[in-house]
Structure 1
């Protein structure tokens, strides 16, 4: 039986715990006494506890994040009830910023803040040797990146076949955007490029095709980013998929030339725009050239096959509902395939917390700690934005309403979709568990009743999108049209198309 278990709860099965693999790779002589177990937040804490205790460990290490802190707290409480003799060690962003600690900290025997690749094995050695440290909170030790053992060998064949493979070519971030924990980093540090590419080649030869880079600033150093892109271009296959987080205002010509060579469906860029308001950008210490950002996003859409996932944040200090709408409209005009409307979260340790008093930032005390209201956006405003974000995922980001969306938004994307969102919620009473057929029916009702879109126009565009989705059965507004056609004895091309579906 292993003496040490390291574990966490992933948000979805397709995710892998990259941090745990780094811990395992760096356990040294304790690696043979260590086992890595992953679970999902959908599993019952009591069932997870049973599986952990079946290993009969002396030490359990748990990774705590904003997305799993509630479930990990429930798990830790069970472990402490039935096996209080086991030493419970916590790590991860949610417990790395004392004294701002969540409730789970009270259940821990030890907490390692920051990076744990060196400090976790050292702590385990001390406990096993019978000389546990007196202090509960241990500051994670950092070392040169080339001193760390590589985690990539510890992706299993099952991981490679079924899950996302997380990789990092660099650590840290040189920017100081206050909403992000990476603002606490001194700079970005690259891993040795040739060693990194050798690891990528090994993963590729094992069959890995879904690579998600967790670097905060992939395109910061053009030589490195071009080299990585060229590495994958030389190994291009129909199923290769790469995800990068990029700086929106830094797209040199050499990088553009490499990006242009990627075929459709192989490249996704996550682009953090967050806000186009210069005053807000200055307030949160975000350096962003808006003109270059807009030019680069426009170039990517016009001259590359990259899929653009662009982020905005609602609830930043000093932002208003109307002003956020201006940022949304500017971003929408650049035509990214996805606009992720995010809500400001209270990350423990993030510098943006210095604005809490001046801008009356009020956060949900429950994870993920989303902002509830600010001095400039009421609770009602934030609830409207929450619903806007959810419905935008269903309508704007899903790709299911290609013909409908231009009619729905007309010349005022934010104002019109906010009006649509309000009316859709009033009609449906829900933002979740809306079947696709029902969503089409509700969209027709709201477009014609609240947005005053002519009935025939709404039917025409919604019919195109509905048939494209290949759903069985007809939504109510098309059923009515079908019955009318049958009563009049008219059998036209449209009717035949409907019957086929």
Structure 2
């Protein structure tokens, strides 16, 4: 039985709660009374409540994020109905910026804002000794990094075998991009390199091979970055995979030399471009050398085997559909493997919120608080780009249409793909649950009827991608027509057929 349970709902089982492990590692003498329990947003809150309360805890600490706030709210409501005596403490980015707090904070006993390694353990000590702190909002206290107990030993064997291993060589960010909560940081601070690499070595020896660095600016200090890459290069095997978030316009020669030494498909770089518009960059306090960014992306694509996951944001203040298309086309010309089309979201505490009135930023009141319209982008246009982002992920980012994509994009990537997106939605009526074989047929029809691609050219490239997708035989282009919607009257569904076969 655990008096203290640290828990959260991850977006997927593959993910692991790095922050909870930090809290657990720094609980001191309370650690023997504590446990970490992770769930996913796909599990039912009532079953999660049953599992948590079976431990008969005195305190439940829950990490709250933009992606789990709905499920956490339902879970907290159940916990307070079933066992109101259990003290519930919330922490995490979604509850760290009072007075801008979600409604669930009204239901709980305490909220820890910001860093929790010191404040949470102090709160637990008070509660377990019979004290009742007067303030419901507990301000997080930042502990010097060299005083933090690192959490890596608390990845279980199951975690190492089945989940991403999150690690950090530094904490914070020196940049002030207003759409990001890291803009609130004063600077980036590194962990002591020797101690960090010792922990990485222990993880590697335990079998960890999927390392995701959560540093906001991995390549900020090049000497440190090179040392970390050298460490992993010495241990390179066919299973090792490293993910880094990097500054796009900072790629000095020392780093290039190191990156060229890595074998293909062992590195993934998450590269936030966001916009190429210098006026918008100035407006949102983003420092970025656009020409250097393009030069670096081009060099990475041509000289390394790294997978480039790049980001653009639609809906920034001052942006328009036509202007966004310019940024998209410039990035598409650099041919990164992925372009993540992010729709602007309202993050609690983000400095970007100062622009809400002037630029008429209208956000969804429900999570994930996505932008619905702005002064320069109406709701219908926002919906079109939302659909485009989904289809882009299905067709371009998936890698299933690699041969076909250049023919789709032509010399006007954004507008041609927008035409594809609009037509796909008209024909399919959805951006979800489109069978891959049907998607091939729909793309074929759009290429012929809307994008003016020659039939022979379309068939040639689609056939290659069709086979690469694992389908046997040839794509039957004569049958690649619009699929009738609905079901025929009087036709039993699959379940009815099964019952009938059993009866027979």
2:78 corresponds to which residue? 78
Offset from partner CA, 1:68-94 (integer Å, 9 cap, x none)? 000000000000001000000000000
Quick one: distance in 2 between partners of 1:78 and 1:21?
A: 25
Pair 1:142 & 2:142 matched: yes
2:31 corresponds to which residue? 31
Pair 1:372 & 2:395 matched: no
Shift of 1:444: 1.0
Alignment check: 8 A CA contact 2:467 2:473 kept = no
2:176 corresponds to which residue? 176
Alignment check: 8 A CA contact 2:445 2:480 kept = no
1:323 corresponds to which residue? 323
Shift of 1:447: 1.3
Offset from partner CA, 1:387-407 (integer Å, 9 cap, x none)? 111000111111111221111
1:2 corresponds to which residue? 2
1:399 corresponds to which residue? 399
Unaligned stretches of 5+ in structure 2?
A: 482-504
Quick one: distance in 2 between partners of 1:292 and 1:62?
A: 42
Distance 1:294 1:71, change over 3 A: same
Shift of 1:476: 5.0
Shift of 1:480: 7.5
2:426 corresponds to which residue? 426
Alignment check: 8 A CA contact 2:444 2:480 kept = no
Pair 1:20 & 2:17 matched: no
1:269 corresponds to which residue? 269
1:225 corresponds to which residue? 225
Pair 1:456 & 2:456 matched: yes
Aligned residue for 1:396, secondary structure, equals helix
2:341 corresponds to which residue? 341
Aligned ranges 1:108-187 → 2 under 5 Å: 108-187=108-187
Quick one: distance in 2 between partners of 1:28 and 1:73?
A: 29
Count of matched residue positions in the alignment of Structure 1 and Structure 2: 481
Quick one: distance in 2 between partners of 1:251 and 1:359?
A: 34
Aligned residue for 2:397, secondary structure, equals coil
2:67 corresponds to which residue? 67
Aligned ranges 1:238-249 → 2 under 5 Å: 238-249=238-249
Aligned residue for 1:79, secondary structure, equals helix
Quick one: distance in 1 between partners of 2:472 and 2:15?
A: 32
Pair 1:208 & 2:208 matched: yes
Aligned residue for 2:311, secondary structure, equals strand
Normalised TM-score (structure 2): 0.94
Quick one: distance in 2 between partners of 1:404 and 1:252?
A: 35
Shift of 1:446: 1.3
Alignment check: 8 A CA contact 1:112 1:138 kept = yes
Shift of 1:454: 2.5
Alignment check: 8 A CA contact 1:180 1:350 kept = yes
Quick one: distance in 2 between partners of 1:253 and 1:457?
A: 41
Alignment check: 8 A CA contact 1:270 1:309 kept = yes
1:309 corresponds to which residue? 309
Quick one: distance in 2 between partners of 1:84 and 1:288?
A: 51
Shift of 1:457: 2.2
